[in-house]
Amino acid sequence: MSELRELYQQVILDHTKRPRNFRTIPDTANVAEGFNRLCGDRITLYIKVENDRVADIAFQGAGCAISTAAASMMTEALKGRPLAEVEPLFKRFHAMVTSPPDQEVDDADLGKLAVFAGVREFPVRVKCATLAWHTLKAALDHKSGQVTTE
Ligand code: ZN
């Protein structure tokens, strides 16, 4: 268990220090801003869809380690994927981070994202971990304005 916790911390730290896809995508209309009031995390999410696939995805913003790592790993996990897989993956991710801490993690399809099972022990961090996903949904829906995790 402590080994798992260490791995979890290493992966999160790595993505916090060197966030992947941390940039803008100037030529896309699918942009949304997210704000987690509880923690102060802010994110701008960019996604470019081509042929029903995630052709490019990127983010910018400032937030805690969990929110930054979650956004970074989300962009890594989704780049190149069929659009149809985005929503089901979000559902799996959300179900995982909101499940009881003692419940076995169903990490099928989640891959590296399974490290976020660790936030189950810190319920206030769940919103940090899901902010990027909520913001992504808004970006895909072309919703304007700001998303909050409320
Ligand atoms: Zn946070």
CA of 79 to the centre of ligand 1 (A): 23
Helix axes 65-78, 2-17, angle to 10 degrees: 80
Residue 71's pLDDT band (boundaries 50, 70, 90)? very high
Contact 137, 78 (CB under 8 A): no
Rounded distance between C-alpha atoms, residue 118 and residue 133, angstroms:
17
CA of 40 to the centre of ligand 1 (A): 6
- Please write the tens of the pLDDT for every residue from 119-139: 898 888 999 999 999 999 999
Torsion angle of C-alpha atoms 18, 23, 28, 32, degrees rounded to 10 = 70
CA of 89 to the centre of ligand 1 (A): 21
Residue 72: which of 38, 41, 39 has the closest Cα?
41
CA of 70 to the centre of ligand 1 (A): 10
The pTM score is 0.91
Question: What's the pLDDT score for residue 146?
Answer: 65
Q: Distances in Å between the alpha carbon of 149 and those of 5, 121, 145? A: 26, 19, 13
CA of 66 to the centre of ligand 1 (A): 6
CA of 52 to the centre of ligand 1 (A): 31
- Please write the tens of the pLDDT for every residue from 34-57: 999 999 999 999 999 999 999 999
What are the structural domains of the chain? Answer: 2-143 (3.90.1010.10)
CA of 51 to the centre of ligand 1 (A): 34
